[in-house]
Amino acid sequence: MSPLLLPNVMLKEKVKILLKEALSQDESLFLIDYSVGADNSIHVVLDGDEGVSVQDCIRVSRAIEHKLDREEEDFSLTVTSAGAAAPMVDPRQYKKNIGRKLKVQTSEDVYEGNLTGADDKGIILEWKVREPKPIGKGKTTVQKKKEIIFSDIKEAKVVLKF
């Protein structure tokens, strides 16, 4: 490993430990992603079972910033919440969005429906579709249901209504 990369790796490990410690203070918050850039820019993305407030971001930011020494490493720190339109990456995000409309892309198809269930294995989507009647003319409304395991999901987003 290059000596120039070593301080960055050490900073990333320090941030990881500090994040774990900060998030243990509030079990409803969870980490979506964090990164440390080559210029020591630290970017943390959080989510929470009841959402993430500005105060949550400030609390986590301070927990990290106050335990890093700017004399040792010059850094910038950004702590944000996962955006409403950001793809879901953690099973906990699905559980908190039960009842909302999702667009889910799998390797075979794209589904759009109401999230009616989520557990540790996957999700359940339900939607209505108009299909031709089995006998006679016209169409009838049919309720569809699809169980999708997490490993089959390529991308899932909440469908926002305006």
Dihedral (Cα; 147, 150, 151, 152), 10-degree rounding: 40
Strand partners, 49: 51
User: Which strands, in side-by-side order, build the sheet including 122-132?
Assistant: 139-149, 122-132, 110-118, 101-106, 153-158
Half-sphere exposure of 60 (CA within 13 A, CB side): 31
| CB neighbour list of residue 97: distance below 8 Å, 6 or more residues apart | 88, 115, 118, 158
3-state secondary structure 18-65: HHHHHHCCCCCEEEEEEEECCCCEEEEEEEEECECCHHHHHHHHHHHH
Helix (H/G/I), strand (E/B), else coil: 8: helix
Instruction: Say whether pLDDT at 44 is over 50.
Output: yes
Question: Strand 101-106 and strand 153-158: pairing?
Answer: antiparallel
pLDDT of 91: 93
Q: pLDDT by residue (tens digit) across 143-161? A: 999 999 999 999 999 999 8
Domains defined along the chain, listed by start: 6-81 (3.30.300), 91-158 (2.30.30)
Q: pLDDT by residue (tens digit) across 55-107? A: 999 999 999 999 988 888 889 999 999 988 899 999 999 999 999 999 999 99
User: Which amino acid type is present at position 140?
Assistant: T
Query: Could you tell me the pLDDT band of residue 6, with boundaries at 50, 70 and 90?
Result: low
Task: Give the burial string for 146-156 (b: 16+ CB within 10 Å, else e).
Answer: eebebeebeeb
